[in-house]
Amino acid sequence: MGTPEFAATVLRHVLESDDVTVAAVYTQPDRPCGRGKKCRLGPVKELALERGLPVHQPETFKDPGEVARLAAYKPDVLIVAAYGMILPQAVLDVPTAMPINVHASLLPAWRGAAPIERAVAAGDTMTGVTIMRMVAALDAGPMIMQRVLAIGQNDTAGMLRAELADLGGRVLVHCLKRLRVGSVPLVEQDPTKVTYAKKIEKSEAFIDWSRPAAEVHNLIRAMTPHPGAFFFWQQAPDKPALRIIAHPGKVGCPLPPDACPGDILGIMDCHLAIACADAVYLIPTVVPAGKRPMDAKAFSCGYLGKCGDDATMAVCGLPEADDPA
Protein backbone atom coordinates (compact mmCIF):
# COMPACT_ATOMS: atom_id res chain seq x y z
CA MET A 1 0.00 0.00 0.00
CA GLY A 2 1.53 3.27 -1.13
CA THR A 3 1.21 6.13 -3.58
CA PRO A 4 4.19 8.43 -4.37
CA GLU A 5 7.66 7.73 -5.74
CA PHE A 6 8.95 6.87 -2.26
CA ALA A 7 6.49 3.98 -2.12
CA ALA A 8 7.25 2.94 -5.69
CA THR A 9 10.93 2.58 -4.84
CA VAL A 10 10.06 0.41 -1.85
CA LEU A 11 7.74 -1.69 -4.01
CA ARG A 12 10.47 -2.12 -6.61
CA HIS A 13 12.78 -3.62 -3.97
CA VAL A 14 10.05 -6.01 -2.84
CA LEU A 15 9.34 -7.12 -6.41
CA GLU A 16 13.02 -7.83 -6.97
CA SER A 17 13.15 -10.12 -3.94
CA ASP A 18 12.81 -13.86 -4.56
CA ASP A 19 11.38 -14.36 -1.08
CA VAL A 20 8.22 -12.28 -1.51
CA THR A 21 5.13 -12.65 -3.69
CA VAL A 22 3.05 -9.51 -4.13
CA ALA A 23 -0.62 -10.48 -4.33
CA ALA A 24 -2.05 -7.02 -4.98
CA VAL A 25 -1.25 -3.34 -4.78
CA TYR A 26 -3.36 -0.66 -3.12
CA THR A 27 -2.83 3.00 -3.92
CA GLN A 28 -4.71 6.30 -3.68
CA PRO A 29 -7.38 7.04 -6.30
CA ASP A 30 -6.21 8.99 -9.35
CA ARG A 31 -6.41 12.73 -8.70
CA PRO A 32 -6.53 15.64 -11.16
CA CYS A 33 -3.24 17.51 -11.16
CA GLY A 34 -1.45 20.30 -13.01
CA ARG A 35 -2.97 23.32 -14.70
CA GLY A 36 -5.02 21.12 -17.01
CA LYS A 37 -6.40 19.13 -14.06
CA LYS A 38 -5.78 15.89 -15.92
CA CYS A 39 -5.56 12.62 -14.05
CA ARG A 40 -2.10 11.12 -14.06
CA LEU A 41 -1.09 7.68 -12.88
CA GLY A 42 0.70 7.68 -9.54
CA PRO A 43 4.18 6.10 -9.43
CA VAL A 44 2.98 3.03 -7.50
CA LYS A 45 0.06 2.39 -9.84
CA GLU A 46 2.25 2.82 -12.89
CA LEU A 47 4.81 0.32 -11.60
CA ALA A 48 2.13 -2.17 -10.56
CA LEU A 49 0.47 -2.08 -13.96
CA GLU A 50 3.84 -2.55 -15.67
CA ARG A 51 4.35 -5.70 -13.63
CA GLY A 52 0.81 -6.97 -14.25
CA LEU A 53 -0.28 -6.75 -10.63
CA PRO A 54 -3.89 -6.24 -9.50
CA VAL A 55 -4.40 -2.60 -8.48
CA HIS A 56 -7.10 -1.36 -6.11
CA GLN A 57 -7.83 2.30 -5.34
CA PRO A 58 -10.53 2.54 -2.68
CA GLU A 59 -11.63 5.97 -1.52
CA THR A 60 -12.00 4.60 1.99
CA PHE A 61 -11.88 1.39 3.99
CA LYS A 62 -15.02 2.25 5.93
CA ASP A 63 -16.90 0.04 3.48
CA PRO A 64 -16.82 -3.53 4.85
CA GLY A 65 -16.78 -4.75 1.26
CA GLU A 66 -13.36 -3.19 0.71
CA VAL A 67 -11.99 -4.88 3.81
CA ALA A 68 -13.45 -8.19 2.65
CA ARG A 69 -11.84 -7.79 -0.78
CA LEU A 70 -8.46 -7.22 0.88
CA ALA A 71 -8.96 -10.19 3.21
CA ALA A 72 -9.75 -12.43 0.23
CA TYR A 73 -6.08 -12.24 -0.77
CA LYS A 74 -5.19 -13.88 2.57
CA PRO A 75 -1.96 -11.91 2.95
CA ASP A 76 0.71 -12.93 5.42
CA VAL A 77 1.97 -9.36 5.62
CA LEU A 78 0.49 -5.96 4.80
CA ILE A 79 3.20 -3.50 3.71
CA VAL A 80 2.47 0.23 3.90
CA ALA A 81 4.76 3.03 2.67
CA ALA A 82 3.50 6.59 2.24
CA TYR A 83 -0.03 5.45 1.47
CA GLY A 84 -1.65 8.69 2.54
CA MET A 85 -4.69 7.10 4.16
CA ILE A 86 -5.45 6.22 7.78
CA LEU A 87 -6.12 2.49 8.03
CA PRO A 88 -8.79 1.26 10.47
CA GLN A 89 -8.13 -1.61 12.85
CA ALA A 90 -10.19 -3.93 10.64
CA VAL A 91 -7.57 -3.54 7.90
CA LEU A 92 -4.64 -3.93 10.29
CA ASP A 93 -6.16 -7.21 11.48
CA VAL A 94 -6.24 -8.73 7.97
CA PRO A 95 -2.66 -10.11 7.61
CA THR A 96 -1.89 -13.38 9.36
CA ALA A 97 1.57 -12.23 10.45
CA MET A 98 1.47 -8.45 10.84
CA PRO A 99 0.94 -5.09 9.13
CA ILE A 100 4.30 -3.40 8.49
CA ASN A 101 5.06 0.25 7.82
CA VAL A 102 8.16 1.81 6.27
CA HIS A 103 8.60 5.24 7.90
CA ALA A 104 11.19 7.83 6.85
CA SER A 105 12.49 8.82 10.27
CA LEU A 106 14.20 7.39 13.32
CA LEU A 107 11.10 6.85 15.40
CA PRO A 108 9.88 8.01 17.83
CA ALA A 109 11.19 11.22 16.25
CA TRP A 110 9.04 12.80 13.57
CA ARG A 111 5.89 10.75 13.56
CA GLY A 112 3.49 11.93 10.88
CA ALA A 113 3.14 13.02 7.28
CA ALA A 114 6.31 15.06 6.67
CA PRO A 115 9.22 13.50 8.58
CA ILE A 116 11.85 14.34 5.97
CA GLU A 117 10.94 18.01 5.59
CA ARG A 118 10.65 18.51 9.35
CA ALA A 119 14.02 16.91 10.02
CA VAL A 120 15.76 19.13 7.46
CA ALA A 121 13.99 22.31 8.60
CA ALA A 122 14.99 21.57 12.19
CA GLY A 123 18.63 21.29 11.19
CA ASP A 124 18.91 17.61 12.14
CA THR A 125 22.17 15.96 11.16
CA MET A 126 20.83 12.40 11.24
CA THR A 127 17.72 10.70 9.91
CA GLY A 128 16.90 7.18 8.78
CA VAL A 129 14.16 4.64 8.24
CA THR A 130 12.14 2.63 10.70
CA ILE A 131 10.34 -0.62 9.93
CA MET A 132 7.55 -1.02 12.46
CA ARG A 133 4.51 -3.09 13.23
CA MET A 134 1.48 -0.93 12.65
CA VAL A 135 -1.06 -0.06 15.32
CA ALA A 136 -4.11 2.19 15.16
CA ALA A 137 -2.26 5.18 16.65
CA LEU A 138 -0.21 7.30 14.24
CA ASP A 139 3.28 5.80 13.71
CA ALA A 140 3.23 4.51 17.28
CA GLY A 141 3.79 0.79 16.72
CA PRO A 142 6.72 -1.25 18.03
CA MET A 143 9.88 -1.01 15.95
CA ILE A 144 11.38 -3.97 14.11
CA MET A 145 14.44 -2.44 12.44
CA GLN A 146 16.09 0.94 12.01
CA ARG A 147 18.88 2.20 9.79
CA VAL A 148 20.57 5.59 10.09
CA LEU A 149 21.35 8.05 7.30
CA ALA A 150 23.44 11.18 7.78
CA ILE A 151 22.00 14.50 6.60
CA GLY A 152 24.59 16.61 4.79
CA GLN A 153 24.52 20.35 5.36
CA ASN A 154 23.42 20.91 1.77
CA ASP A 155 21.06 17.94 1.40
CA THR A 156 17.53 18.82 0.33
CA ALA A 157 14.34 16.99 1.26
CA GLY A 158 14.13 15.70 -2.30
CA MET A 159 17.64 14.25 -2.19
CA LEU A 160 17.01 12.58 1.15
CA ARG A 161 13.65 11.21 0.05
CA ALA A 162 15.28 9.27 -2.77
CA GLU A 163 18.02 7.93 -0.49
CA LEU A 164 15.60 6.98 2.27
CA ALA A 165 13.26 5.22 -0.14
CA ASP A 166 16.12 3.07 -1.40
CA LEU A 167 17.34 2.41 2.13
CA GLY A 168 13.82 1.64 3.31
CA GLY A 169 13.26 -0.85 0.51
CA ARG A 170 16.48 -2.70 1.28
CA VAL A 171 15.82 -2.83 5.02
CA LEU A 172 12.23 -3.97 4.44
CA VAL A 173 13.35 -6.90 2.28
CA HIS A 174 15.83 -7.91 4.99
CA CYS A 175 13.04 -7.71 7.56
CA LEU A 176 10.72 -9.86 5.45
CA LYS A 177 13.40 -12.52 5.04
CA ARG A 178 13.82 -12.71 8.81
CA LEU A 179 10.08 -12.81 9.33
CA ARG A 180 9.76 -15.68 6.88
CA VAL A 181 12.16 -17.92 8.82
CA GLY A 182 11.06 -16.91 12.28
CA SER A 183 10.03 -14.04 14.51
CA VAL A 184 11.39 -10.51 14.47
CA PRO A 185 12.21 -8.35 17.50
CA LEU A 186 9.65 -5.75 18.52
CA VAL A 187 10.92 -2.73 20.46
CA GLU A 188 8.42 -0.32 21.94
CA GLN A 189 8.94 3.38 21.22
CA ASP A 190 10.01 5.70 24.03
CA PRO A 191 7.00 7.99 24.59
CA THR A 192 9.21 10.69 26.15
CA LYS A 193 11.08 11.18 22.86
CA VAL A 194 8.11 11.55 20.52
CA THR A 195 8.04 14.48 18.10
CA TYR A 196 5.52 15.08 15.34
CA ALA A 197 5.94 15.96 11.68
CA LYS A 198 2.67 17.52 10.64
CA LYS A 199 1.85 17.99 6.98
CA ILE A 200 3.64 20.90 5.33
CA GLU A 201 1.42 23.89 4.60
CA LYS A 202 2.47 25.94 1.59
CA SER A 203 2.47 29.10 3.69
CA GLU A 204 5.30 27.59 5.76
CA ALA A 205 7.56 27.85 2.72
CA PHE A 206 7.59 31.66 2.97
CA ILE A 207 11.13 32.84 3.77
CA ASP A 208 11.42 35.10 6.80
CA TRP A 209 14.68 36.99 6.25
CA SER A 210 14.66 38.23 9.85
CA ARG A 211 15.71 34.72 10.90
CA PRO A 212 19.36 33.62 11.14
CA ALA A 213 20.90 32.63 7.81
CA ALA A 214 21.37 29.02 8.92
CA GLU A 215 17.63 28.73 9.61
CA VAL A 216 16.85 30.21 6.20
CA HIS A 217 19.19 27.67 4.60
CA ASN A 218 17.47 24.81 6.41
CA LEU A 219 14.02 26.04 5.39
CA ILE A 220 14.97 26.33 1.73
CA ARG A 221 16.50 22.83 1.77
CA ALA A 222 13.40 21.42 3.47
CA MET A 223 11.06 22.93 0.88
CA THR A 224 13.09 21.77 -2.14
CA PRO A 225 11.83 20.63 -4.56
CA HIS A 226 8.27 20.94 -3.26
CA PRO A 227 6.55 23.25 -2.51
CA GLY A 228 9.58 25.52 -2.99
CA ALA A 229 10.68 28.17 -0.48
CA PHE A 230 9.64 31.61 -1.69
CA PHE A 231 9.79 35.32 -1.03
CA PHE A 232 8.26 38.43 -2.57
CA TRP A 233 10.12 41.27 -4.24
CA GLN A 234 8.56 44.53 -5.35
CA GLN A 235 10.29 46.37 -8.19
CA ALA A 236 8.44 49.61 -7.53
CA PRO A 237 5.71 50.84 -5.14
CA ASP A 238 3.16 50.97 -7.95
CA LYS A 239 3.88 47.44 -9.17
CA PRO A 240 2.62 44.13 -7.74
CA ALA A 241 5.01 42.04 -5.69
CA LEU A 242 6.74 39.26 -7.59
CA ARG A 243 6.71 35.80 -6.03
CA ILE A 244 10.14 34.18 -6.30
CA ILE A 245 11.21 30.64 -5.41
CA ALA A 246 14.75 30.35 -4.05
CA HIS A 247 16.96 27.35 -4.70
CA PRO A 248 19.30 26.26 -1.90
CA GLY A 249 22.52 28.24 -1.64
CA LYS A 250 24.90 28.93 1.20
CA VAL A 251 25.52 31.17 4.18
CA GLY A 252 27.86 33.98 3.22
CA CYS A 253 29.68 36.75 5.05
CA PRO A 254 28.49 38.40 8.29
CA LEU A 255 25.77 41.03 7.92
CA PRO A 256 27.16 44.40 6.78
CA PRO A 257 26.61 47.17 9.38
CA ASP A 258 24.24 49.16 7.17
CA ALA A 259 22.16 46.20 5.95
CA CYS A 260 18.72 45.20 7.19
CA PRO A 261 17.11 41.74 6.94
CA GLY A 262 15.53 41.39 3.51
CA ASP A 263 17.85 43.82 1.74
CA ILE A 264 19.04 42.58 -1.64
CA LEU A 265 22.74 43.36 -1.60
CA GLY A 266 23.45 42.53 -5.22
CA ILE A 267 25.59 39.74 -6.66
CA MET A 268 28.29 38.10 -4.55
CA ASP A 269 30.29 35.13 -5.77
CA CYS A 270 27.80 34.65 -8.64
CA HIS A 271 24.96 34.40 -6.10
CA LEU A 272 22.07 36.70 -5.25
CA ALA A 273 22.93 38.09 -1.82
CA ILE A 274 20.09 38.78 0.63
CA ALA A 275 20.55 40.00 4.19
CA CYS A 276 19.32 37.81 7.05
CA ALA A 277 19.37 38.48 10.81
CA ASP A 278 23.05 37.66 11.28
CA ALA A 279 24.61 37.05 7.88
CA VAL A 280 24.17 37.23 4.14
CA TYR A 281 22.46 34.33 2.38
CA LEU A 282 23.68 33.53 -1.13
CA ILE A 283 21.21 32.11 -3.66
CA PRO A 284 22.52 30.62 -6.93
CA THR A 285 19.20 30.23 -8.75
CA VAL A 286 15.72 31.70 -8.50
CA VAL A 287 12.40 31.01 -10.19
CA PRO A 288 10.24 34.12 -10.66
CA ALA A 289 6.53 33.34 -10.89
CA GLY A 290 5.61 32.09 -14.34
CA LYS A 291 9.23 31.89 -15.46
CA ARG A 292 11.87 29.22 -15.83
CA PRO A 293 14.74 28.93 -13.33
CA MET A 294 17.41 31.56 -13.86
CA ASP A 295 20.81 32.06 -12.30
CA ALA A 296 21.49 35.00 -10.03
CA LYS A 297 23.24 37.08 -12.68
CA ALA A 298 20.39 36.64 -15.15
CA PHE A 299 17.89 37.67 -12.49
CA SER A 300 19.97 40.72 -11.60
CA CYS A 301 20.21 41.83 -15.22
CA GLY A 302 16.57 41.14 -16.00
CA TYR A 303 14.97 42.46 -12.84
CA LEU A 304 17.28 44.37 -10.51
CA GLY A 305 18.87 46.20 -13.44
CA LYS A 306 15.48 47.63 -14.42
CA CYS A 307 14.90 49.31 -11.08
CA GLY A 308 14.34 53.04 -11.15
CA ASP A 309 15.81 55.49 -8.68
CA ASP A 310 12.83 55.09 -6.36
CA ALA A 311 12.62 51.29 -6.55
CA THR A 312 13.04 49.37 -3.35
CA MET A 313 15.91 46.91 -3.19
CA ALA A 314 14.40 44.91 -0.39
CA VAL A 315 12.13 41.91 -0.38
CA CYS A 316 8.67 42.33 1.06
CA GLY A 317 6.31 40.35 3.22
CA LEU A 318 3.25 38.42 2.20
CA PRO A 319 0.94 40.73 0.21
CA GLU A 320 -2.44 41.33 1.76
CA ALA A 321 -5.02 38.71 0.77
CA ASP A 322 -2.29 36.79 -1.03
CA ASP A 323 -2.70 33.06 -1.31
CA PRO A 324 0.80 31.58 -0.98
CA ALA A 325 -0.43 28.36 -2.58
Annotated binding residues for (6S)-5,6,7,8-tetrahydrofolate, as ranges? 105-108
Amino acid at 307: C
For residues 79 and 12, give the distance between their C-alpha atoms in angstroms, rounded to a whole number.
Answer: 13
Confirm if 252 and 279 have CB atoms less than 8 A apart.
yes
Residues listed for the chain: 325
Amino acid at 228: G
Q: Is 40 helix (H, G, I), strand (E, B) or coil?
A: coil
Q: DSSP states of 116-171 as a string?
A: HHHHHHTT-SEEEEEEEE--SSTT-SPEEEEEEEE--TT--HHHHHHHHHHHHHHH
For residues 273 and 227, give the distance between their C-alpha atoms in angstroms, rounded to a whole number.
Answer: 22
Q: What sign results for the dihedral spanned by CA atoms 133, 138, 139, 143?
A: negative
Backbone dihedral angles phi then psi of residue 200, each to the nearest 5 degrees? -75, 125
Instruction: Please give the annotated binding residues, written as ranges.
Output: 105-108
